[in-house]
C-alpha cells in the first residue's frame, strides 16, 4: 500500500501541522430546519404532560472555523446508518478525526447529527400512543439497532463476523470503542422529504459554497439536496453511498457540479456493496454524458489497498483526508 | 442587576480574551463505560437482523484542552432533563457557550451526553419486542418529551406558558432555537446504578482531579458518584439540582469536598423548585455540620437578579461563567 502516493496535500500544506496547538477563529453549534408539532402522547409519566408542542426534524450542526481559513471551502460532514457525527471525530483507536484534519488543513468544518439521531430530536409520540393504549403495536416506529455481528460485514471488516479481510485497515483492536459509537436508527421512520436533505439544503445556502460530504446511508442526500436546488452547493463527496441517483433519472441537477464518489477496498467481496458501486458507475457514466463532472474513485484502483467501509477511521485515515483535501482543492477550488 | 459585581474573574483573566482566535492544545471525543448486551429484538426491518450484540450505557464525551491550561482544573459539564450536551454550547441567541468560556479561561472542558441520550445510544429492544408481538405494550420504555408548554414553567421563564417573570434573563426572542435543543428523555427507563453516575466516576478517575458540573435532572449525579468513591473528584458544582443528597443520609462522602449548589431567580415562585432549594439547604446544613464544605448560592441573594433555570444560556451567562471560574479558583484551586 503506497502511502507515499497519498502525501501531496500534506506536502503542499507543510505550514499546517497536525501536531501542536490549533488556532480556532470561531466555533460553536446550532440547528437548521425543524417544525413545530403538537402531540397528545408526548409522555406517559406523571411529571410531564401528555399534550404539548415539540420541535422535530431539526439538524444539529457543530462547527469550527480555523484562524487561517482564507478562501478554503467549508466542508459539511454527514454520518451514515446507525451512527452520529461522532463518526468524523477521534477515531476508535484515538487518532485525530477527519473533522480536525480538515480544520487543520484550513477548511471550516461542519459536523451534523442527522434529524432524529444524536443531538437531533427523535419523536416519541408513537411509542407513548401505544404505551397509553391509544394505538396498536403496528403504529410503533421502525427504530432498529445494527448488532455488531451484522455490522461487521456491512462495514466490510471481513466476510462475516470475526473474519477479517487480509490487509484490512480498520483498527479492530479498538472495536469496543467503535461499537460504543452505534446508536438506534430511526431513518425508516422519517417523514418525506427527508429532513436531512432539507437540512443540508438550508445549511449549504447558509454557508454559500460548501462541499457536502456524505457516507453510506446519507450518501444519496447531497445529490437529493442538489436536485432540489443547487444554491450554496459547491461540490459533493459521497463516500460509499447506499445509493447514487438513478442513471436513467433527471441528471440536469448535477451538470457542472464537481462530484466525487469514493470507495474503499473489498467491494467485490460484498453482495451488499458491489451492486451499489456498479450502479454508481452507471450513474457517473450517464451524468457525465449529460455535462456532469462525476468522478468514481475506488481506492485499490489508484493503488491504495485495505480500506473498509469506515475508511475515515481506518489506519490510513489521515492520509485519506489529505488526499480528499487535495481533491477538493483541485476540483472544487477556493471560494470566489 | 449589578453585573459589575460579577467581573472579578474576568478582571483577573485579562490576558485571556473571549474574542479572536483561541488556541487548542488538543481536542476530540471518546466514550466512557458501556456494556455488551445481546438482544433478539434489535430490528423489525428486513435489512437488519433481529438478533445480535450492541453496546449500551456508554457516555459520550467531547473535550477541548486549551494551549495554556497550566494547572487549571478540568471541568465536566453534564446537561439536564430532555436536553443533551448542546446545553453548554452556543446559546440559543448565538453567544458563546459555557464550554468555550471555561476553555478560554484556561479550563480543559469535557461536555457529555448522558447515556441513552444524544450521541450515547438508547435501547430499542423493548420497542421492537412490542412491535414484533413478543411483548405487550406495557413493556415499552418510559420515553417522554417535554412539550414547550410544560418546559416554560419548569425552566422558570414565567409562571405559565407565555407569561414571563419581570426581568427574566433567558433570551426568549431565540426560543425556537432552544426548543430545537430538546430531545426525548429515557431517564426513567435506565438501569441501576445510573449509567451517568458510573460514567462520571470513570471520567473523573481518568481526569484525576476534575470539577463535576451538573444541572437539573443530572444535579444529584456528581454527589452519587462521590458517594461511590471520591477518586478523581476535586469539586462539585450542582446547578439547580432536581435533588440534593438527603440531609439525614450518609454525609461522610462529602466531607472536605468543595461543593457549590447554585440557584437562579424566581425559585420561590415555583412549586416545583422551591421545595428542592429548601431540601438542598437542609442537606448543606447537615453536611457542613459533618465536616462538609457545601455552599448554597442563590443568585438574587448575592445581588444578581433575573436568572432562569437555564442560567448557562441567560443573557448574563458569560458573567456567570466567570463568577464560576472565580469560585472554582478560590474553593477548588489548581491541580497539585
B14 pLDDT tier (thresholds 50, 70, 90): low
A2 vs B184 pLDDT, higher one? B184
Mutate to test the interface with B, among A17, A66, A104, A124 (most CBs of B within 10 A): A124
Give, in order, the Cα–Cα distances in Å from B43 to each of A144, A305, B130.
Answer: 4, 33, 11
What cell does B257 get? 469536598
Give the nearest chain B residue to A55 (CA atoms): B180
What pLDDT shows up at residue B12? 52
Q: Tell me the domains of chain A and their CATH numbers.
A: 3-34+58-121+169-331 (3.40.50.1820)
Task: Flag if B52 and A94 touch (Cβ within 8 Å).
Answer: no
Say yes or no to pLDDT of A289 above 50.
yes
The pLDDT value recorded for residue A12 is 52
Considering only the beta carbons, identify the residue of A22, A90, A150 that sits closest to B24.
Answer: A22
CA distance B92 to B169: 13
Write the ipTM: 0.96
Q: Are strands A52-56 and A35-39 parallel, antiparallel or unpaired?
A: antiparallel
pLDDT score, position B15 = 58
Bridge partners (DSSP) listed for residue A54: A37
Contact A145 B43 (CB under 8 A): yes
What is the percentage of chain A residues whose pLDDT exceeds 90?
A: 93
Q: What is the pLDDT of residues B223-245, one digit of tens each?
A: 999 999 999 999 999 999 999 99
**pLDDT tens for each residue of A46-74:** 999 999 999 999 999 999 999 987 899 99
Q: Choose among A310, A265, A239, A241: nearest CA to A87.
A: A310
pLDDT digits (tens, 9 = 90+) for B153-182: 999 999 999 999 999 999 999 999 999 999
Residue among A80, A119, A138 with most chain B CBs within 10 A, to mutate: A119
Q: What is the pLDDT of residues B42-76, one digit of tens each?
A: 999 999 999 999 999 999 999 999 998 789 999 99
Q: Which pLDDT does position A11 carry in this prediction?
A: 46
C-alpha pair distances (Å), B177 with each of A112, A124, B93, B180, B283? 16, 20, 8, 5, 36
**Average pLDDT over chain A, rounded to an integer:** 95
What phi-psi label fits residue B216: left (phi over 0), alpha (psi between -120 and 50 degrees) or beta? left
Would you say residue A6 has pLDDT above 70? no
A31 CB neighbours in chain B (<8 A) are 177, 180-181
| Chain B interface, best mutation among A18, A19, A25, A27, by max B CB count within 10 A | A27
Chain A residue whose CA is closest to B49 = A150
Q: What's residue A301's pLDDT?
A: 98
CB atoms closer than 10 angstroms to residue B193: 13
Contact call for B55 and A28, based on CB within 8 A: no
**Do B310 and B97 touch, CB atoms closer than 8 A?**
no
In chain A, whose CA is at the least distance from the CA of B61?
A86
Measure A260 CA to nearest chain B CA, in Å: 27
> Residue A15 has what pLDDT?
58
3-state secondary structure of A183: coil
Inspect the interface and report whether the beta carbons of B122 and A184 lie closer than 8 Å: yes
| Minimum-distance CB partner of B148 among A52, A97, A149 | A52
Evaluate if residue B10 carries a pLDDT over 60: no
Q: How far is B188 from chain A (nearest CA, A)?
A: 9
Residue in A with minimal Cα distance to B153: A48
Work out the minimum CA distance from A140 to partner chain B, whole angstroms.
6
Nearest-CA distance A251 → chain B (Å): 29
How many Å lie between the alpha carbon of A258 and the closest alpha carbon of chain B? 30
Q: How far apart are CA A204 and CA A86, in angstroms?
A: 21
Question: Do A32 and A6 meet the contact criterion of CB atoms below 8 Å apart?
Answer: no
User: To probe the interface with A, which of B147, B162, B216, B272 has the most A CB atoms within 10 Å?
Assistant: B147
pLDDT at B11 over 50: no
CA distance A153 to chain B (A): 12
Do A39 and B147 make contact, defined as CB atoms within 8 angstroms? yes
CB contact under 8 Å between A144 and B44, yes or no, is: yes
Q: Are A59 and A199 in contact (CB under 8 A)?
A: yes
**Does A144 contact B128 at a Cβ distance shorter than 8 Å?**
yes
B221-228 and B195-207 helices cross at what angle (nearest 10)?
Answer: 70
Rounded CA-CA distance A129/B214 in Å is: 32
Residue pair B86/B119 in contact (Cβ under 8 Å)? The answer is: no
Q: Is the pLDDT of residue B188 over 50?
A: yes
List, in order, residues 6 or more apart from A278 with CB less than 8 Å away.
Answer: none
pLDDT at position A4 = 43
| pLDDT for residue A86 | 98
CA B253 to chain A, closest CA, distance in angstroms equals 30
Q: What is the pLDDT of residues B307-334, one digit of tens each?
A: 999 999 999 999 999 999 999 999 999 9
Cβ <8 Å between B52 and A84: no
Give dist(CA A88, CA A214) in Å, integer: 11
For chain B, the average pLDDT equals 95
CB-based contact B150 A24, cutoff 8 Å:
no
What is the DSSP pairing of strand A258-263 with strand A293-298?
parallel
Find which of A23, A54, A61, A92 to mutate to test the B interface (most B CBs within 10 Å of its CB). Answer: A54
The beta-carbon neighbor of B48 closest among A97, A127, A146 is A146
Comparing A16-20, A186-190, A322-326, B93-97, the range with the smallest average pLDDT is: A16-20
Measure in Å the smallest separation between the Cα of A211 and chain B Cα atoms.
Answer: 22
Q: What is the pLDDT of residues A163-193, one digit of tens each?
A: 999 999 999 999 999 999 999 999 999 999 9
pLDDT computed for residue B111 by the predictor: 99
Amino acid at each position: 500500500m503506497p502511502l507515499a502516493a497519498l502525501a501531496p496535500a500534506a506536502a503542499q500544506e507543510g505550514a499546517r501541522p497536525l501536531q501542536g496547538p490549533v488556532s480556532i477563529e470561531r466555533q460553536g453549534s446550532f440547528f437548521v430546519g425543524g417544525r413545530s408539532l403538537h402531540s397528545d402522547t408526548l409522555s406517559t409519566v406523571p411529571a410531564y404532560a401528555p399534550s404539548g408542542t415539540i420541535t422535530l426534524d431539526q439538524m444539529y450542526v457543530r462547527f469550527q472555523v480555523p484562524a487561517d481559513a482564507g478562501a478554503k471551502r467549508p466542508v459539511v460532514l454527514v454520518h451514515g446508518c446507525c451512527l452520529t457525527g461522532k463518526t468524523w471525530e477521534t477515531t476508535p483507536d484515538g487518532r485525530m478525526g477527519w473533522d480536525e484534519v480538515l480544520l487543520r488543513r484550513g477548511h471550516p468544518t461542519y459536523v451534523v447529527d442527522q434529524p432524529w439521531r444524536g443531538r437531533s430530536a427523535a419523536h416519541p409520540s408513537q411509542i407513548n400512543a401505544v404505551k397509553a393504549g391509544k394505538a396498536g403495536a403496528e403504529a410503533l416506529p421502525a427504530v432498529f439497532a445494527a448488532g455488531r455481528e451484522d455490522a461487521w460485514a456491512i462495514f466490510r471488516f471481513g466476510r462475516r463476523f470475526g473474519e477479517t479481510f487480509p490487509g484490512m485497515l480498520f483498527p479492530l483492536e479498538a472495536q469496543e470503542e467503535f461499537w460504543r459509537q452505534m446508536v438506534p436508527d430511526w431513518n425508516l421512520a422519517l417523514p418525506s422529504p427527508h429532513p436531512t436533505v432539507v437540512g443540508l439544503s438550508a445549511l449549504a445556502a447558509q454557508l454559500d459554497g460548501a462541499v457536502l460530504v456524505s457516507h453510506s446511508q446519507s450518501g444519496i442526500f447531497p445529490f437529493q439536496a442538489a436536485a432540489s436546488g443547487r444554491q450554496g452547493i459547491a461540490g459533493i463527496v459521497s463516500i460509499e453511498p447506499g445509493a447514487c441517483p438513478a442513471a436513467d433519472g433527471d441528471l440536469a441537477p448535477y451538470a457542472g457540479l464537481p462530484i466525487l464518489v469514493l470507495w474503499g477496498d473489498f467491494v467485490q467481496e460484498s453482495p451488499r456493496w458491489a451492486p451499489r458501486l456498479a450502479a454508481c458507475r452507471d450513474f457517473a457514466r450517464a451524468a457525465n454524458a449529460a455535462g456532469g463532472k462525476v468522478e468514481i474513485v475506488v481506492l485499490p484502483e489508484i493503488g491504495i489497498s485495505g480500506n473498509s467501509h469506515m475508511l475515515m477511521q481506518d489506519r490510513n485515515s489521515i492520509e485519506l483526508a489529505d488526499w480528499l483535501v487535495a481533491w477538493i482543492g483541485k476540483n472544487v477550488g477556493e471560494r470566489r
